[in-house]
Amino acid sequence: MQQVRSILVVLDPDHAHSRALTRAKLIAGVTGARMHLLMCDKKHDHQALLSVLAGQLQEDGYDNISFEQSRHDVVHEAVIQAQQAEGCDLVIKEHRPDNPLKKALLTPSDWKLLRQCPCAVLMVKSEQPWTGGVILAAVDVGNHDEEHRLLHASIIDHGFGIASLAKGELHVISAHPSPMLSAADPVYQNRDSIEQRYREACSAFQAEFDITDDRLHIAEGPADVLIPYTEDKYKAVVTVIGTVARTGISGALIGNTAEVVLDKLEGDVLVLKTEQVIAHLAELARD
């Protein structure tokens, strides 16, 4: 989080003093990042309101504030256009779940933003203060390739950064598969040996960030079930997750886990991408 220099704050026309702005002020207050306010509405003019909000922020000591209104028909496309134009390295938006019928017929707008935005995205879901809370970092240590290794380091680093600015406590969750008698590797035929393998893989995180065993949670089962369960158990205020996408990025960019847990989690969700994915998405956005 300390590396964040420019934040795009997506404001809801019906809720200008939003949770997203509250989170942006917290982060900018620690990092000194500039804030760019974006209001998406093609029907009504909000320039006066945006000017007032910017003035209030400057009075509160936030010096570098800019704003704009987009009349683009598609919100996630407007957000990405603004993110690219302003060079923002973090987008903050309040997440409001779509109704089940709409979700069954259309890909929710926030899913599209998570998939296509060429930077980190913080989806704000709760008014609960971060101060003193648990920050949950979700990693998949079963993948050992370089991309996943770098992504895991970024997830832990961001989780630790949020815990530091919020004076909270970082916890780490990693889900592992169930035993398979047909597995070629004997390790994956036994539940205890699988858990031991995953704990050993997490040892680097523990050593680097001083994560004690009681804050490392290795569990058997699907990640999209275990992450919400662990968040609820420890009342985490923020969950940090990531994605590695392959070439030929299309509709399935972010992967199922981040999308499925988005509506299941009660607290805020920070979604990170690898540098390779960010570069590819930036290229797509320019085209």
Higher local confidence (pLDDT), 16 or 150? 150
140 and 265 inside one domain: yes
What's the domain range around 150? Answer: 134-286
In a domain, 120, yes or no: no
* Number of Cβ within a 10 Å radius of residue 47: 11
Q: Are 109 and 75 in contact (CB under 8 A)?
A: yes
Using the predicted structure, report yes or no on whether residue 164 has a pLDDT greater than 50. yes
In a domain, 116, yes or no: no
In a domain, 178, yes or no: yes
Burial track 25-43 (b if 16+ CB lie within 10 A, e otherwise): bbbbebbebbbbbbbbbee
**pLDDT tens sequence across 144-163:** 678 878 888 899 999 999 99
Phi-psi sector, 132: left (phi>0), alpha (psi -120 to 50), beta: left
For residue 18, name the pLDDT band (cuts at 50, 70, 90): confident
**pLDDT score, position 121:** 95
174 and 272 inside one domain: yes
Question: Region 202-214: what's the mean pLDDT?
Answer: 84
Rounded-to-integer distance, Cα 282 and Cα 36, Å:
19
In a domain, 279, yes or no: yes
144 and 212 inside one domain: yes
- 148-156: which pairs have CB atoms within 8 A and are 24 or more residues apart? 148/244, 150/274, 150/275, 151/242, 151/243, 151/244, 151/272, 151/273, 151/274, 152/205, 152/242, 154/242, 154/272, 154/274, 155/240, 155/241, 155/242, 155/272, 156/205, 156/208, 156/209
Counting the structural domains of the chain, the total is 2
276 and 160 inside one domain: yes
Using the predicted structure, report yes or no on whether residue 250 has a pLDDT greater than 50. no
Return the CATH number at 203: 3.40.50.12370
83 and 145 inside one domain: no
In a domain, 99, yes or no: no
Which of the listed ranges 34-38, 198-202, 222-226, 277-281 does the model predict with the highest average pLDDT?
A: 34-38
Using the predicted structure, report yes or no on whether residue 269 has a pLDDT greater than 90. yes
13 and 87 inside one domain: yes
**pLDDT score, position 141:** 77
**pLDDT score, position 188:** 53
